[in-house]
Amino acid sequence: MGFDEERSSGSSGDASRVRSRIDEIDFAHASERVAAEILDYYRIAWLYEPRSFPIQWDKDGKVIAYFTPDFYLPDFDLYIELTTMSQKLVTKKNRKVRRLRELYPEINIKVFYQKDFRALLARFGIASEAQVRARGGGVTAADPEGRGSPDEG
């Protein structure tokens, strides 16, 4: 499977080329950038938001809702959805994932919740901080010592 050079990364290429691709992607949330850096650190090929799945239609058959998972890992045939917002706010996203699984049972998807993402950051020794709702909520990496991202250290 080919990779879209603008929105993907992975095992080919040197670290500077990987970094420049990440910098060109307009991630929806800072936690997605951190996740991409971790995937690159482990040289796991990924695509960012490569496909949107129709999940709801109106009475005329027009699509009125889509679900777009954050990452696709082609080597594992796995979609990843990163949900770093508070658990009490993820009901809508859980409903979309459930609907995706009902309509597309052949699609493999894993949801990483806030607690999963915090545990991943902790494993890398990266401090995390809660974001205020006005800034998108959820959790992002905090770097009070200016150590840089996981692939720089």
Question: How confident is the model over 26-63, as pLDDT tens digits?
Answer: 999 888 998 898 889 888 999 999 999 999 999 999 99
Least confident segment among 16-25, 119-128, 137-146: 137-146
Q: What is the largest CA-CA distance in the chain?
A: 56
Q: What pTM was estimated for this model as a whole?
A: 0.69
Classify domain 8-143 at the CATH class level.
alpha beta
Could you tell me where the DSSP H helices lie in the chain? Answer: 15-24, 30-41, 91-103, 114-123
What are the sequence ranges of the domains in the chain?
Answer: 8-143
Contact by Cβ (8 Å): 142, 130: no
